[in-house]
Amino acid sequence: MIKLLDILNEMTDTDITWYHGSTVDINQADLDPLVRHSEKYKADTDKQKWSSTGSSSSGVGIYFGKDKEGLGPEYPMQYTGFYGNGPYTTGFMYEMKLKSDAKVVNKSDLHKISIEEYKRFIEEGIDAFTDRTELVVINPDAIQSFRKIMQWKEVPALYPLNRGKRGEVIVFDNNQKMESFLKNELGDYKLVKSSDSGKQYYWPIDDNIDKNFEYTTKRKWFNV
């Protein structure tokens, strides 16, 4: 009986599905290993939107990770803008497969490939490097497929308030679903904005209903 570990050990880097996170909506044709050396990148103060998984600010290559859920500089999720208090209103996760004949070389330091090294590696026919956790592609022509699989958006959410007690947040896919929920819970309702905090609340018109909802927004992932 073939053990799962044996199967995994036999897999090559061209068999693996790799992931890339970004705050930019990109296509396969947009993938450029030299983007961080372009004038457009150098002039942009918001460089994270051009970042690639695990890349340095001046490195060469398009970076990918094996795990799309983890957090940290080697993980694609770090670069989607989903976590933290950044100015982003959306972010994307992509999956990538290399061509079966792509030349992938093991390399411990993926983040310091200079322009001169890049040119030499391309001449040697190298398409990508890996440290077994990350992959940096220096030849986009070695990519078999690259597609968007997930996108996060800011969506409406409500905190139930009942006799001064705040309940667990309820997250909705869109405003229409939130409004339908409010109509079902409150009947006719009105939007009230606090002059002190600026927070918004949905209150029932019927004074006999003793609950209301605090409005907020949350980030939510959608499959695409």
pLDDT digits (tens, 9 = 90+) for 50-65: 554 444 455 789 999 9
178 or 10: whose pLDDT is higher? 178
The average pLDDT across 10-17 equals 70
Last residue of a domain, one of 97, 122, 150: 150
- Domain hosting 137: range is 4-150
Q: Please indicate, yes or no, whether residues 140 and 161 belong to a single structural domain of this protein.
A: no
What pLDDT, on the 0 to 100 scale, is given for residue 85?
80
What pLDDT, on the 0 to 100 scale, is given for residue 13?
67
Last residue of a domain, one of 119, 150, 181: 150
Q: Please indicate, yes or no, whether residues 93 and 179 belong to a single structural domain of this protein.
A: no
Q: Please indicate, yes or no, whether residues 142 and 38 belong to a single structural domain of this protein.
A: yes
Confidence of residue 2 (pLDDT cuts 50, 70, 90): very low
Q: Please indicate, yes or no, whether residues 41 and 119 belong to a single structural domain of this protein.
A: yes
Last residue of a domain, one of 150, 166, 181: 150
Q: Please indicate, yes or no, whether residues 145 and 167 belong to a single structural domain of this protein.
A: no
Residue 195 clears pLDDT 90, i.e. is over it: no
Chain-centre distance for alpha carbon 151: 7
Q: Please indicate, yes or no, whether residues 119 and 159 belong to a single structural domain of this protein.
A: no
Enumerate residues 6+ apart whose C-beta is below 8 A from 69: 75, 77
Q: Please indicate, yes or no, whether residues 111 and 146 belong to a single structural domain of this protein.
A: yes
For 103-122, what is each residue's pLDDT tens digit? 999 998 888 888 999 999 99
For 145-189, what is each residue's pLDDT tens digit? 999 999 999 999 999 998 879 999 999 999 999 999 999 999 999
Mean pLDDT (the chain, rounded): 87
Enumerate residues 6+ apart whose C-beta is below 8 A from 106: 129, 130, 131, 132
Q: Which helix (H) or strand (E) holds 176?
A: helix 175-186
The average pLDDT across 90-95 equals 95
Q: Please indicate, yes or no, whether residues 145 and 178 belong to a single structural domain of this protein.
A: no
Confidence of residue 76 (pLDDT cuts 50, 70, 90): very high
pTM of the entire predicted model:
0.83
Q: Please indicate, yes or no, whether residues 176 and 84 belong to a single structural domain of this protein.
A: no
Q: Please indicate, yes or no, whether residues 32 and 112 belong to a single structural domain of this protein.
A: yes
Report residue 122 as tokens: 């391309």
Q: Please indicate, yes or no, whether residues 53 and 72 belong to a single structural domain of this protein.
A: yes
**Percent of the chain clearing pLDDT 70 (strictly above):** 86
